[in-house]
Amino acid sequence: MDEPWLLKEDDSRSTETIHNFILFCEDEKGEPDYFRGLANKFTNIKITAFRGRGSGFKNITDAINYCKKNGIVDSISDGFIGDHHNVWCIFDRDKSRTSVSASQDIAFSSAVRLAESMGIKVGWSNDAFELFVLLHFVDVSKSETALEHRDECYERLTSLCLTMPNKSDRMIEMTSNANFNYCQLKRNNNFIFGIRSYLMEKWEEAITRAEYLEGQYADGLDPHEKKVCTVIFKLSKTIRELGFPK
């Protein structure tokens, strides 16, 4: 069986190249389930997702070690991976409500810079992946400082899920419970069967909104300085650029 980064062209589609994206995802659910769903829109996009890899340096170290072990490097001497391999680390800032320190901010941005120096792309969010989910529903401005912490995203998404159109059967069942909250979608397969189909209808709108949000910040800022921001849309854009729609 071919290794995931050596997928061959499908003989029945000889003009297409199969692009495999290797994702190191912080969470068990959410990010990997989202991008597996997005890949299903294309004939030539494959997702190899490693779940629950944690955040920051742990996530990146896992990715670097995996790539070195499996020969996914352009330079043997320094282990440079090269962005054409489509290796992505996806993780959040995940600020604490009570103790946000300068050292934590620096660690977050330094982890992003380390990955980039090794040729790994990073889909980071400040503060959480749920900001990207929120952008499938509404525009967001950097001035909305309440969104600097993920709890606000959860609250807004809870309200939006209650009133969203075209609910899946799972979402109808979940939102009929008076105690429903968005965090329940992070468990089991609730993300896949609850909200993913709706997000897949809005994925290009999310790209536009997220790109506009990032554009509200000055060039040259470190990731931790972009306090309400996500660049996960760059992975979605790359998939769109390389993919052949079904």
Domain boundaries, the chain: 4-9+19-242
The pLDDT score that the predictor gives to residue 21 is 96
Q: Model pTM?
A: 0.89
Residues 115-126 pLDDT 10s: 998 889 999 999
Q: Which long-range contacts (CB under 8 A, 24 or more apart) does 113-116 make?
A: 114/57, 114/60, 115/60, 115/63, 115/89
pLDDT score, position 94: 81
What are the residues whose beta carbons fall under 8 Å from the beta carbon of 220, sequence distance 6 or more? none
Q: Please give the pLDDT value at position 103.
A: 82
CA distance 113 to 119: 10
Low-confidence ranges of the chain (pLDDT < 50): 1-15, 76
Instruction: Please report the pLDDT score of residue 10 as a whole number.
Output: 42
pLDDT for 82 equals: 65
